[in-house]
Amino acid sequence: MMLNVSIYRYNPETDSEPRMQDFQVDTGGKDLMVLDVLELIKSQDTTVVYRRSCREGVCGSDGLNMNGKNGLACITPLSETVKNNKLVIRPLPGLPVIRDLVVDMSLFYAQYEKVEPYLQNDTPAPAIERLQSPEDREKLDGLYECILCACCSTSCPSFWWNPDRFIGPAGLLQAYRFLADSRDTATNERLAKLDDPFSVFRCHGIQNCVNVCPKGLNPTRAIGHIRNMLLTRAT
Amino acid sequence: MVTAVTSFGRSGLSDWLLQRISAVILLAYFICIGGTLLGGVDYASWKAMFELTSMRIFSLLAVLSLAAHAWIGMWAVLTDYLTERLMGNKGNVLRIAFQILCSLVIFVYVVWTVQILWGY
């Protein structure tokens, strides 16, 4: 069974504009993962460039746009994405392309940095560790699992238009992860930095982020919680 | 924290809250007007309805809600699409021009509505 694959090719150093290159891949009738298909293409044409690492959906390196939907190539089976024997692979939308399927994630990381994604506590550190009740720990479920693959933020139109001002679903999920942490004492300072018209409120709740998250997380719900915290604090 | 001096309430939270409240007020107003129209009106009953102070207050509230709602919405659209990021400096000039235009149009409509409600 030959699968028709169309891949986005662009080398800014030599190409004046991006183009699509077609490949025929023998899948051997198996339901391969998209990453396997990319590896087979790489054996046909070694100049195809993409990021990959763990190949099991943990590292978040191979976030790609497959037949119009963002996801991790390593855990997306062909049966989930291929229609009419055709697979179109493009880089994550909205970020500058470095080469072929590799994008420059600087803007994405800059937004992540803005939410200060680390525990802040100004009380003296206890001798062993800061304890947390099982109930408080449970509040972090569905938040801490993010692998920063950028599938969500790059599927969000608000992030496409304002990647420098809107924190984006991935960053906001992490913002709430620390707002919700019982051990963090910087809650008020964190909220004060989010109360502008862009950082949080560019989210119009269209839930593209929820639709694509390969880990099944829900950034829209986290953003709703942040909004409620801001509202409680300010009214 | 991103600063913005042209947004309606200068705060994302305030704009967000006002957008929701104004939407509810507008919904209530249009249900009220729609219900009246469906019930059948003639000139006399329509005129009598708008001579009630309560209806004038409700109408003015609806128009002020519409003004705020439109400003917040248009501001969001303009700061999405007419930006320096997408169009270079031209984006800044166009955005400010359209923001001024929008606010003028909204202002004229509000004054005109007051004139219609209390002028006849």
pTM comes to 0.92
Window 172-201 of A, Cβ < 8 Å to B: 192-201
Instruction: Identify whether the C-beta of residue A67 lies closer than 8 Å to the C-beta of residue A81.
Output: yes
Q: Is A164 on the interface with B (CB under 8 A)?
A: yes
State the pLDDT at residue B119: 82
Using a CB-CB cut-off of 8 Å, the residues of chain B touching A201 are 12-13, 15-16
Q: Is A220 on the interface with B (CB under 8 A)?
A: no
Question: Residues A20-42: pLDDT tens digits?
Answer: 999 999 999 999 999 999 999 99
State the pLDDT at residue B27: 98
State the count of interchain CB pairs (< 8 A) between A and B: 57
> Locate tokens 């993409």: which residue?
A50
Q: To the nearest whole angstrom, how far is the Cα of B22 from the nearest Cα of chain A?
A: 16
State the pLDDT at residue B3: 74
The pLDDT > 90 percentage for chain B reads 87
Residue A201 has its nearest CB partner, among B16, B81, B85, at B16
**Among B6, B5, B3, CA closest to B103:** B6
Instruction: Identify whether the C-beta of residue B50 lies closer than 8 Å to the C-beta of residue B59.
Output: yes
Q: What rounded mean pLDDT belongs to chain A?
A: 96
Indicate if the pLDDT at residue B120 is higher than 80.
no
Question: Residues A123-146: pLDDT tens digits?
Answer: 999 999 999 999 999 999 999 999
Instruction: Identify whether the C-beta of residue A114 lies closer than 8 Å to the C-beta of residue A167.
Output: yes
ipTM, 2 dp:
0.87
Q: To the nearest whole angstrom, how far is the Cα of B14 from the nearest Cα of chain A?
A: 9
How far apart, in whole angstroms, are the C-alpha atoms of residue A97 and residue B63?
A: 46
Q: Could you tell me which chain B residue has the CA closest to the CA of A190?
A: B1
Q: Is B113 on the interface with A (CB under 8 A)?
A: no
